[in-house]
Amino acid sequence: MESNQSHWRVRASCRDADPDGLFVRGAEQNRAKVVCMGCPVRTECLAEALDNRISFGVWGGMTERERRALLRRRPDIESWHELLTTARREFAGADEEEDEPAVRVG
């Protein structure tokens, strides 16, 4: 049985893409990263790659080199899924707070 964290794959923008187009090298990686832009599950995808130390392909808009650098900078992170999900939730809450007036007039 698949975990809840894996269900994101059915909503991924790349779900019908040719996998060979996502596991490329060099300049072609930039084209692969375009698929990630605006993907509704980009955070989950990136967390999966970071938590599982996936060392190939573009995941969540990051290349393997970018992910390795991030992992080196932040070896203290035990769960990227938890960190990124919490950050996304907090960011969404901050956006909602900004939409509301700080002081009500009237």
- Please tell me the predicted confidence (pLDDT) of residue 104: 47
| Distance (Å, whole) CA 5 – CA 71 | 20
Residue 28, annotated as binding a ligand? no
- Please tell me the predicted confidence (pLDDT) of residue 102: 53
Residue 46, annotated as binding a ligand? no
**37 in Cβ contact with 14 (< 8 Å):** no
Residue 77, annotated as binding a ligand? no
What global pTM score does this model have?
Answer: 0.78
State whether residue 26 is helix, strand or coil: coil
Residues of the chain falling short of pLDDT 50: 1-2, 104-106
Residue 18, annotated as binding a ligand? no
- Please tell me the predicted confidence (pLDDT) of residue 24: 85
Alpha helices for 27-75 (secondary structure H) = 28-36, 42-51, 64-73
